[in-house]
Structure 1
Amino acid sequence: MPSPAETERAVELAQRGTELAKAGKLSDAARFLREATTIDPENPQVKLAWVALKEEEGKSELLGFCRDWVKSKDEADGDKALKVIRAKGLREKEAEQAVEILFEFKGEDDLLDQVTGELLQHVGAQKWLAEQMQERPTQMYYELFERGDDSIDGLLKVLLNRAMWLSDEAFTQGHRDAFMLSLAMMMEEALEHPERAMKGVAQLLAHHAEHLHGIIDSDSFDVILTSLDIRLPSSLRSQATLATIKLFELAPSTAQDLVSKFVTTRVQKSIADELVVAFSAAAAIFPITVQAASALFLTEGFITTLVPLVESKKSHKLEQSALELVSAACVDKNCREAINRHCREWLENCVGTSLDKKRSNLAALILVKLGDEQPASEGPSIVTPGKVDQEDLIASFKSMVIGSDASSKQDSIEGLAYASLQPKVREDLSKSPKFLKRLLETLHKEATSSGAAHASNILFGGLTILVNLISYLPIQSEEEKRMAQLKAYANVQKPVPEPDELLNDAHVSARCKRVLDAGIVPVLVAVAKRASASVLALTSSIFLSLSKDAKNRAPLAQQGAIKLLTQIYDTITSTTTTPSPYPPSAASQTAQALSRILISTNPAHIFNASHPSQSAIRPLLPLLSPTESSTWQLHAFEALLALTNLASLDTPTQDHIIRHAFDIVVDDLLLSQNALLRRAATELVCNLMASPHCIERFADGSPRAKHRLHILLAMTDVDDAPTRSAAGGALAMLLSIDLAVAELLKDDKGVDFLLGLCRDEEEDIRHRGVVCLREVVGEETGNGVEEVRRKGGVEVLKGVLKESRRQEVLALGVETLKVLLGQ
């Protein structure tokens, strides 16, 4: 029996529990009631309080399931909670209470990790966790770390969301606490799941490095660099690589010094395990900063002793790490020369004698990167043939791509990405339908499979092969060709040789046709759905090459290229990351490919309500503006042709073009010194004239409209017949409005230009001139008739009737002449 004092205490706790239950703080209420039950389990008020709590819990099905799960540890109860979370939106308070209840569940549990991750998508749970990270950061971090990947991801989401924190100070401190705890976790011996801790390090560095001043020291950097070890899981190494990239961005000089110290210290120890760590780190640095990594690689005495050192240790992992380092170093010309001089024989032995396929393939890849160049030597030397022939290596890689062994795909594709820089290899690969089919199948599989660690490397390498196969030589102006020759002479070089015949347009076009016929477009559509910035840039380059030949454009459009290119352009131009992850030319290349395809495609077959034509107009607009490129006028010409084709679709499309491109087309490009640009701009105006908004901009009586009308009239008197024809067509539509006729008559030379059309050598152009005259003489005031007579229109029309043979021209000419003669 409890004492009176204990009974009183139990009642107080029960009352407090009931109050908390009514306030919605169910986990706190349960804590008070458990204590009351321990003191006086048979007390009626305590029992009533439990009933009240159960009723409150009954209002939230989720909280009841969570409570049952914590007590039972039964996975069935956890599944019920997970289903409720996924099936309905949670109230903020409900999510908060649910996550708090589940923190009574300790230890690692896959289902608990999954449920925690789901709950931490909700604001209530996120705010609760932010508060807890301020009050007890170490306990919360360790519990979430133990729980699993989804829980750590949820924590990172909270840490990076400023809205969940009460102040900037708390937000910053949360980052500092989590970063230090992640580093401390990484330093623990035999840590399970180190990638969870490294993810925290990498993400906080990537997003809020400014909050971590004073924490990052040489020990921290050592922890990160040690995690680049090739023997560790790729998930850990990828996060360590991200962290290393950010550290180099923040403090390149300091990072370079720390890396140099890290590598040289371990190399000097000459212990196999330490050498693996050092070589792994050095290899990872090359893609981040070639200059720093190559300086380290070319340190006196390193490359000359590398092979003897590796061979003396008789360690497969050390040999693998050394090969990874040498492969990475091939990105630098000086490093390649040193490798060729000191490592070639070792590499050839690896290819010929290694029982490990991965090491053999990697050595072969390095030899492909080195090419056929013989090691440089001073003085006379005896040239001996290498043990491994380049053509044999390339043929081997080609066979690996065709074969079914997935383990060798990455190395073989990377090797062919280098080898396909050679014109002969490009031609050979393109002429193998089996190779193209298997390569595209591999890319499609990697694009649609759920996240293999090497998928992005295979996608990048495979697309690089395709880019190399179908790339045209860059267009050079005559001035650029002369400058290249002058530079060659200035550098005491031989004149620039003529490009290989296999790189001429005819051969490249043939390769494009083979790749297109192999079914590349559906693969690119699949790849783009989850592509990185580099992969999207390669995709645009492929479309740019494929679209050069007009014969390819219809198949490209039919298979979805237009929609995909507009999506890629939107993705590239909407990125807010600084600096942009996309190459500077990515957006313009995408737009150029789009414009080429649109030139030769019936827009009525492509666009609909779900894919409006306006989506394709935005990418074309920047191509109309001059740039420093010598080819900008070609790109502007193609964009104008594409817009002209789009303008034939409907009035909404015309109006969209008018709103966004009219000024640059009429005020700038219509006056271009380039005859083709003038022609294309005039043809676009002709198609736009079907819109009342276009007519208004020529006929509203403003000084600017008068100037535009005069420019359009002047286009009827240029040397280029297609330009005259387009100008005549535009005027024929414009002058169908009396207001426009009135504006034309205000121009002293307006009728003269129209009579010039009627005298043209081309029958079609004369026809347009007669149409214009008929509209002028048909206006109500009679001013048009008078002006045409005064300018000699009667004689001009008689001449038209003598020269023309087409019935429609003769009929309209007779009709117009009768009006002029008053008949």
Structure 2
Amino acid sequence: MSDAQPVVKAVAVDEETNLDTILKKSQDKSWSILFPDEIQLLLTAFLPSQPLAFRSKAYIVLSAFSQRLRELAPKAKLSNRQDGPDVSTQSIVNALSPSLISKLGDTTEPDILAGLTFLVALFQTDWQAASAILLQDGVYDTLEDIPDLLPASASVSLALAHLIAQAAGHKSCRTVISSQTVQWLEEKARQKDDTSLRAAAAVALVKLNKGNLADAAANPLAAASPASASVGSAGGGDADLAQLMKRLVLDAPTSSPSSSIQDAVEGLAYMSADPTIKEMLSSDAKFLSRLFATVPRRKTLWSESSEDMGMTPLYGTILIISNLCAYRPRRTEEETQIAKLRKLAQAGGANSGSKVDDVTEENKLDDKDHVLARGRRLLQVGVMDALTSAVKATESRAVRLAVGKALLSLVEDNTSRGKILQSGGAKALSTIIQDMLSSAPSAAGPDKGKTPYLDASDLEPIQALAKLAITASPVQVFGPNAGALYDAIRPFTLMLTHPSATLLQQFEAIMALTNMSSTSPDAADKIAHSEGLFSKVELLMLEDHTLVRRASIELVCNLIAGSDDVFEKYGGRSGESSKRKLQVLVALCDVEDLATRLAASGAVATVSDSPVACGHLLELQKEKGRVLPILGQLIDPSILPPSDDATSGVEELEETAGGADPGLVHRGVMCVRNFLVGIKENKEGSKEVAQDAQRIGLVQALAGVFKANSSNRSSPLLRPAAEALKCLMENGIPIQT
């Protein structure tokens, strides 16, 4: 038999009318009953001979019915068994199983086919209920008898293979799949007359294989399922099955979503997590082009309603792309140590002396260099067209999040970011993010109704957009319309403040916001007022991680310069709060990291333009005696604080004495000049500060700067240095240049 599609019959007018009636009733919140004739209609609604639009409506009805029963049923177990169904699942089973089991137990092809296709649909809409029905006494035995009862029916065999593939995706169902079933699947996967059946059988074998391996890894002491031994070599191994499904993708037409290409793509979606398979698929440009062609370039009827029901290859295609360019998950230090201990335990005995960080050949195929190469090959073949088209073609959350995950992997390569931007990657990510935020439920708490609740996986498209916003100008990323840039502030804030965000995600959110804040005062002001952002950034200013601390102070520096409110918080208000904020900035001028010192001293230089801020600095100098030495060290590293106050940065300053950074010198001169001018009206305080400046050598340092720049009238240091020296002279300090 060839891969010809079943002839699509015209659905009976009364059937369609009745289904439309049920569909309309399902929108009513009080609806919770399917009458016997309605169940009978649903049982035949998923037959392959039914039009796709009709099947799509039936999926919606079945999903709505299952969901409604779950909402109405109490959240409780029927028994003490941990693996038993809950009340809501049992209510669905009670409603559907009598009619369904009757169909499966019939001897005629139409009834058996209706039962099989309905159970496949139930797995796709409510797998708990479908699993519970499959595990009822005698049901699986009935399924095993079907190949003997109707050996010549290609439609029944195809539906049965699809059903086994669905069941193989769930651990409880895998335990009942017998070696007899596996042998039947192997036979169908080897035959070459019916490519649709061949693909479906191969998918079932792959899912069984992967599932059993996962079960064994999770519980190595548990007894293997009856099918485990056979599945390990089913179809000649993963490589052979992958080659088979790759060939099906290359040969099958893409005009109809019912083609065998759906099964081939689903199988490859499972198998493409394997590094060897990744290399094989990503190295075949012809295959990749054919795979990308399965993504519709515009929204169609079937892509609108069917991609989450397994009726199109769209999700599988995007998942393959995501797998091919995925990097290894970053391990925490604790996870790394646990992995080493596990390897030591596995080595044992005579092998206990072997290195614990050995990498297998397969794992090497997943290292950074191989992943980078795969991503570049995908970009060369046109993966961006497929990814951006997928976002346009569907509103499916699963598909869009998979696109976001794939783009996050692709933008890891700095050299590819320009190409991704040119291909519409930033616009696709913005679409995904805005749709995700608009549909996300609200978080609990006092801000309920305002802050959307996001899973950790929801942060991936936001992180991908942040990476683009870090290395490119905001105009390149968001376009000339400022509104698009403003729209990105909220998701970056959510990633920064999310409880599950990694330190890397927080860092990248801050970096992106820093870049955006430099575009205009309006942008800086909107960022400063983004809910929860500023308090989080201020906490991260004290983070131990150098890069995170640096990024935080750089953002604060930009916000102080661009937002009047932030400037007021640090330098325009009297009170302890502003004083302590300013104290933190001064302290950060004394850390070892040069970039952090540059940002912190820049912020102090800006804030110290306010007389109120200078008053705070005077108070801090009187309390701790640290302000002038820290600001003086920016100009001349040989200026050190009193030994009993020595803190971090002293050792580093001793090493670099005589080699002050020009940027620090400029900022230091501006800070000291602003400070001295700002406290001029306070005669007593001004005199005391001048004496402190003379004692620590700051006067000499300022005189040295003035002398070094006196021959260059356009030097930005000349005037502030002269003004600072003038203030010191007015307080009786002799100046020698």
| TM-score, with structure 2 as normaliser | 0.76
Corresponding residue pairs, total: 629
Structure 2 residue aligned with 1:758: 635
Q: Deviations over 1:167-219 (max 9, x none)?
A: xxxxxxxxxxxxxxxxxxxxxx99426234313313431x3231x35x54455
How far apart are residue 738 of structure 1 and its match? 4.2
8 Å contact 2:169–2:208 — kept in the other structure? no
Structure 2 residue aligned with 1:204: 25
Q: Which moved more, 1:794-803 or 1:378-387?
A: 378-387
- Greater helix content: 1
> How far apart are the structure 2 equivalents of 1:264 and 1:243?
20
Q: Secondary structure at the match of 2:293?
A: helix
Structure 1 residue aligned with 2:574: 702
> How far apart are the structure 1 equivalents of 2:345 and 2:100?
41
Structure 1 residue aligned with 2:129: 292
Gap runs ≥5 in structure 2: 1-9, 70-87, 214-222, 444-448, 638-655, 710-714
Q: How does 1:250-649 map to 2 (within 5 A)?
A: 250-251=68-69, 252=88, 253-303=90-140, 306-313=143-150, 314-336=152-174, 338-339=176-177, 341-353=179-191, 355-371=193-209, 388-403=236-251, 405-406=253-254, 407-445=259-297, 447=298, 451=302, 457-482=312-337, 500-531=363-394, 532-575=396-439, 584-606=455-477, 607-609=479-481, 611-625=483-497, 627=499, 629=500, 632-649=502-519
> How far apart are the structure 2 equivalents of 1:721 and 1:691?
23
- The residue type paired with residue 288 of structure 1 is T
8 Å contact 1:484–1:496 — kept in the other structure? no
- The residue type paired with residue 261 of structure 2 is K
8 Å contact 1:341–1:376 — kept in the other structure? no
Change (3 A) 1:583 1:427: farther
Structure 2 residue aligned with 1:770: 669
8 Å contact 1:770–1:812 — kept in the other structure? no
> How far apart are the structure 2 equivalents of 1:381 and 1:513?
39
8 Å contact 1:697–1:705 — kept in the other structure? yes
Change (3 A) 1:506 1:417: same
Q: Which moved more, 1:417-426 or 1:251-260?
A: 251-260
How far apart are residue 766 of structure 1 and its match? 3.2
> How far apart are the structure 2 equivalents of 1:648 and 1:384?
58
> How far apart are the structure 2 equivalents of 1:488 and 1:293?
39
> How far apart are the structure 1 equivalents of 2:42 and 2:294?
33
- The residue type paired with residue 369 of structure 1 is K
Q: Rg larger in 1 or in 2?
A: 1
How far apart are residue 305 of structure 1 and its match? 5.7
- The residue type paired with residue 792 of structure 1 is A
Change (3 A) 1:359 1:814: closer
Change (3 A) 1:613 1:378: closer
> How far apart are the structure 1 equivalents of 2:15 and 2:517?
58
Change (3 A) 1:793 1:633: farther
- The residue type paired with residue 274 of structure 1 is D
8 Å contact 1:260–1:296 — kept in the other structure? yes
How far apart are residue 600 of structure 1 and its match? 0.6
How far apart are residue 774 of structure 1 and its match? 2.1
8 Å contact 1:368–1:394 — kept in the other structure? no
8 Å contact 2:705–2:717 — kept in the other structure? no
Residue of structure 2 aligned with 1:243, choices 48, 57, 61: 61
How far apart are residue 726 of structure 1 and its match? 0.8
> How far apart are the structure 1 equivalents of 2:229 and 2:372?
44
Change (3 A) 1:522 1:797: farther
Change (3 A) 1:323 1:301: same
- The residue type paired with residue 128 of structure 2 is Q
1:821 aligns to 2:708 (yes or no):
no
How far apart are residue 464 of structure 1 and its match? 0.7
> How far apart are the structure 1 equivalents of 2:230 and 2:593?
66
Change (3 A) 1:307 1:669: same
8 Å contact 2:679–2:686 — kept in the other structure? no
Change (3 A) 1:363 1:496: farther
Q: Deviations over 1:297-335 (max 9, x none)?
A: 344554456344323323232222212211211211353
Structure 1 residue aligned with 2:652: none
> How far apart are the structure 2 equivalents of 1:398 and 1:365?
12
8 Å contact 2:296–2:393 — kept in the other structure? no
How far apart are residue 752 of structure 1 and its match? 4.0
Change (3 A) 1:316 1:558: closer
Q: Deviations over 1:768-819 (max 9, x none)?
A: 2122112223448355853541222572242476699985597468534455
Structure 1 residue aligned with 2:687: 786
How far apart are residue 597 of structure 1 and its match? 1.2
Change (3 A) 1:666 1:569: closer
8 Å contact 2:327–2:366 — kept in the other structure? yes
How far apart are residue 648 of structure 1 and its match? 1.5
How far apart are residue 351 of structure 1 and its match? 3.0
Q: Deviations over 1:120-173 (max 9, x none)?
A: xxxxxxxxxxxxxxxxxxxxxxxxxxxxxxxxxxxxxxxxxxxxxxxxxxxxxx
> How far apart are the structure 2 equivalents of 1:787 and 1:556?
59
> How far apart are the structure 1 equivalents of 2:239 and 2:61?
40
How far apart are residue 525 of structure 1 and its match? 2.5
Q: Secondary structure at the match of 1:562?
A: helix
> How far apart are the structure 1 equivalents of 2:294 and 2:35?
43
How far apart are residue 598 of structure 1 and its match? 0.8
8 Å contact 1:715–1:723 — kept in the other structure? yes
Q: Deviations over 1:360-379 (max 9, x none)?
A: 22222223333487996889
Q: How does 1:7-406 map to 2 (within 5 A)?
A: 191-192=12-13, 194-205=15-26, 207-210=27-30, 212=31, 216-251=34-69, 252=88, 253-303=90-140, 306-313=143-150, 314-336=152-174, 338-339=176-177, 341-353=179-191, 355-371=193-209, 388-403=236-251, 405-406=253-254
1:713 aligns to 2:561 (yes or no):
no
How far apart are residue 569 of structure 1 and its match? 1.4
Change (3 A) 1:377 1:483: closer
Q: Secondary structure at the match of 2:193?
A: coil
Q: Deviations over 1:460-492 (max 9, x none)?
A: 111010111112222222224456788999999
Change (3 A) 1:483 1:300: farther
8 Å contact 1:566–1:619 — kept in the other structure? no
Change (3 A) 1:582 1:365: farther
1:735 aligns to 2:608 (yes or no):
yes
Gap runs ≥5 in structure 1: 1-188
Change (3 A) 1:757 1:296: same
8 Å contact 1:595–1:639 — kept in the other structure? yes
8 Å contact 2:433–2:462 — kept in the other structure? yes
Change (3 A) 1:806 1:457: farther
How far apart are residue 621 of structure 1 and its match? 0.5
Q: Deviations over 1:622-648 (max 9, x none)?
A: 122251x3x522211111111111112
Q: Which moved more, 1:262-271 or 1:507-516?
A: 262-271
> How far apart are the structure 1 equivalents of 2:277 and 2:458?
29
Q: How does 1:643-662 map to 2 (within 5 A)?
A: 643-660=513-530
> How far apart are the structure 2 equivalents of 1:553 and 1:382?
46
8 Å contact 1:195–1:239 — kept in the other structure? no
> How far apart are the structure 2 equivalents of 1:587 and 1:553?
21
8 Å contact 2:459–2:495 — kept in the other structure? yes
